[in-house]
Chains A and B, each alone.
Chain A
Amino acid sequence: MFKIKQDLPFNWINTDKFKDMIISIRFAVENREPNVSMNNILSYMMSDRSEKYPSKQAMSNQMDALFGLSLSSKTTTFGAAHVLEIRIRTLNERYTDHAHIQEATRFLMDCVRQPLMNDASLIEAKKNLIASLKRIQDKPSHLGIMKVCEGVGKDTPLAVFSQGNMDVIESVQLEDLKAYHKQLMEQVQPMILIMGDFKGLNQDQLRNQLNFDQNLSILPSAYVFQPKHTFKASIQKETSQTTFTQLYATHTAYNDPKYLAMRLYVIMLGQLPNSLLFQEIREKRSLCYSISASSFNFDGVMAIQTGINYKDIDQVEMLIELQRIKLAKGKFSQALLKTAQKMFINGLESMTDEPYAFLNFMYQRGYTQYDLDLKATIKAIRDVKKSDIEAIAQQIELIGQYTIRGKH
């Protein structure tokens, strides 16, 4: 189904399963400001205009001419690393009336190497990124997570918001940005992922087109957040419900032997319909519509978030704590663990049906250089025992709480 060749920085995934060819280029830098804001500005600019296609119209026309090519860019946090990704997605050549992948690759490289960087394009990028940050903060669920991470993680990567900082973005000058871009092009070897039907494709030529001529250096990414203090804050907003967010240190590294047990713990606590939080707080007591737990795997933290009536907050907080105690004392069924294992494995097995999910898996495998062999991982998930979950549950520590008190 997939023929995979990983000769870093290149990851070749040969498959005729999908109609598209995807080429993804990912630059990793240290997760701190101003890197993060710079990455976000570049992310906007690289997918906006280039020196070769200096107007939005020229970009749009060229993408349409390349069979509806889609060009997109985004930034993501991988713990202590911040990643700028730019990618194209275009039809495999068997669905088009002429070969176009080389031209599409040229187009991508023009956008990466020579984005249109001038005063006007910088002003536009800044304006839109700041507006986007405001929109994110207008959503209580996002605001809750942002604020609790900021409060707990002061001066650590945890406090750095992946989409940038308004003040830093505002202060960036054109010359700084150009210097940052130059540094990125000359000093950071990106990881390159290519997925599609390689039949009839000249891979050597493609490799030459995508060459950056640097040695891949792997920056530290996964780390374990060590809390120095706890944080608790509350604000009032005119929202229709109260958003309650709690943050926990898992004290579990990405390469820790207990890592998979930690993932299963989070699933059992709040990622399934039969998870303890969902059952106790929604199903039994109708206190919320959604309650979930999620782990930030590269930081060693976990969050629980729910939307409730403010009058119920003490009860909900107490019930969350009781579910955590149940897991720590082993007062849960073997069936819950088994279900969590099955669902975790189901997710991994289904990954090969979603091109981006599989590309992300390949990226993590290449970037972290941990052995992420699927079969071995699935076996390790099956081997997790009840006592492993108890051990994880006992080391998890509440470190932050943020409440957005609404009208209800």
Chain B
Amino acid sequence: MRKIFKDINEHYDVFELENGMRLYVIQKVDYQSSVFYLGFPFGSFDLVQEVDGELKRFPSGVAHFLEHKLFENPGGIDIMQSFSHLSCNVNAFTSYNETVYYFNSSKKALQKPLNLLLDFVQNLSITEASVEKEKGIITQELRMYKQMPEQRLMAETYHSLYANHPVRLDIGGTEESVNDTTMEDLMDAYRFNYHPSNSIMVCVTPLNPDLIHRLVKANQDQKSFEPRRAIKRLLDEEPKAVVRPFHQFEMDIQASKLTYSFKLDDYSEDHKLNIKNEWQYRLFLELVFSPTNPAYEQWMESNRIAEYFGYEVEVNREYGFVMFYGENEDEHDFVDLIRSSLDEDLNKFKEAFDLLKRRYYAQMLRSFDDQDDYAITLLRSEFSGVEMMDSIAILKSIQFEEILHLGKELLNKPTALVKMTGLRKLD
């Protein structure tokens, strides 16, 4: 099936294989290289699952650990090396909701690397010794991220906001959970979550989509898989209140930073509503907390904000938040700035609102030029059940009147303030 989006000069082809795998091919004839992304909806949030009616608990970081171990093949052949021999860059990432394996190549002969990708991801081969050996590497990875100030600040903010939801945990887990992970955990995680019918492959290539389909099909037709299991992510109920309204910690840094966040509770099972809600927040926040607002310049002049100032917003089926970050030494002033601005009359921004929609539209169009961006966005959209082009339509549909109430609503949400200071700032 071909999906065509004439007004933006884009199209892609969709194929469903007999084993349930879905293949999306975006043909870009002018491009030199091809990228392939193979994803599974198994991420760091999947710590408690109902599998065929039975409960299974995993140590935190298991999806990430599994991603590391898949790069090991029977006979000790290093997968990364095999890709390099074929002139391909291969890599993978684990995020909250998915694990994704990918490669790129400037060559036209793609059968071998494509087979290699499908074969290594569809064949876990580990030993007790190799699992133990990986723990040292992952521990160093966790430590590397832990010493990055911005990442640490975000991690502490999630800890302040959430009591139960796994967003409060690092994607890679903790040193303790990594050390507790067993070969059995990894094998279970793999058996339950890596069935081809769970997976989506996205390819951006100059080659003919039918050719890509034939290559993937030829590989998959030779394989048989266990029956698919019924899997459901289970989550403990998340209280509306935050865990820590105020938290301060120290790091060996020169530039102190802080976040001030609002915990949302108006997310929905209907993900289109979440996308709309998130766009509404983005439009509202950009109008008030960016140079679009004349007050922004005064805030900067009076040192209430610095260049390192901004916001994050996330609304999905499981949680939502609005987070502000900055470098103000006086946290009370920072909070006051945010709260008083949320209460502002928005009517003066009506004209800017229409221009802002134009900006976001241009940004979305731009993302179609980037092969990796395009592939990841399409993959995530398909996992979420909302087509990526719907997001553009949703943005276009939002009216100014719909965002007028958002600031006042935010003021009633529970908040968390997190402050990160240099070592000498604490007694």
Contact = CB atoms under 8 A, between A and B. Distances in A.
Interface in B272-295: 290-294
Given A20-B369, A241-B140, A135 B300 contact: no
Interface in A76-133: 89-91, 95, 120, 124, 127-128, 131-132
B222 interface: no
A386 interface: no
Interface residues of A, number: 69
Contacts of A60: 290-292, 352
B292 A350 contact: no
Contacts of A406: 143, 147
A15 B30 CA distance: 10
A352 interface: yes
Given A19-B368, A55-B294, A288-B137, A124 B300 contact: yes
Contacts of B397: none
Interface string A59-89: 1110111011100000000000000000001
B147 A349 contact: no
On chain B, which size bracket covers the interface? 35 or more
Contacts of A19: 8-9, 365-366, 368-369
Nearest to A238: B252
B255 interface: yes
B259 interface: no
A117 to B, nearest CB: 15
A397 to B, nearest CB: 28
A240 B371 CA distance: 35
A346 interface: yes
Interface string B158-199: 000000000000000000000000000000000000000000
Given A288-B137, A289-B141, A350-B32, A131 B307 contact: yes
A239 B147 contact: yes
Contacts of A16: 30
Nearest to A355: B369
B234 interface: no
Contacts, number: 180
Given A91-B365, A274-B81, A57 B292 contact: yes
Interface in B8-45: 8-9, 30-33
B363 interface: yes
Interface in A350-373: 350, 352-355
B193 to A, nearest CB: 24
Interface string B336-348: 0000000000000
Contacts of A55: 291, 294, 297
B84 A120 contact: no
Contact of B89 (A59, A287, A343, A355): A343
A266 to B, nearest CB: 15
Interface string B122-166: 000000000001111110110110111100000000000000000
A91 B147 CA distance: 39
A296 to B, nearest CB: 22
Contacts of B81: 273-274, 339
Given A131-B306, A134-B255, A138-B253, A286 B33 contact: no
Contacts of B86: 342
Interface stretch (B46-54, B240-248, B354-362): B354-362
Interface in B101-120: 104-107
B301 A124 contact: yes
A339 B90 CA distance: 13
A319 interface: no
Given A64-B352, A238-B251, A286-B134, A57 B358 contact: no
B296 A17 contact: no
B425 interface: no
B390 interface: no
B149 A17 contact: no
B106 A241 contact: no
B219 interface: no
B399 interface: no
Given A17-B369, A288-B140, 18 more contacts: A16-B30, A19-B368, A55-B297, A57-B292, A95-B8, A131-B307, A131-B327, A135-B255, A241-B140, A286-B134, A286-B137, A287-B136, A342-B84, A345-B106, A346-B89, A346-B105, A350-B104, A406-B147
Interface of A: 1, 15-20, 55-57, 59-61, 63-65, 67-69, 89-91, 95, 120, 124, 127-128, 131-132, 134-135, 137-140, 237-241, 272-274, 279, 282-283, 286-290, 307-309, 335, 338-339, 342-343, 345-346, 349-350, 352-355, 406, 408
Enumerate the 9 nearest inter-chain pairs by beta-carbon distance, A residue then B residue, closest first. Answer: A68-B362, A273-B80, A56-B291, A286-B136, A64-B355, A349-B106, A68-B359, A238-B252, A289-B141
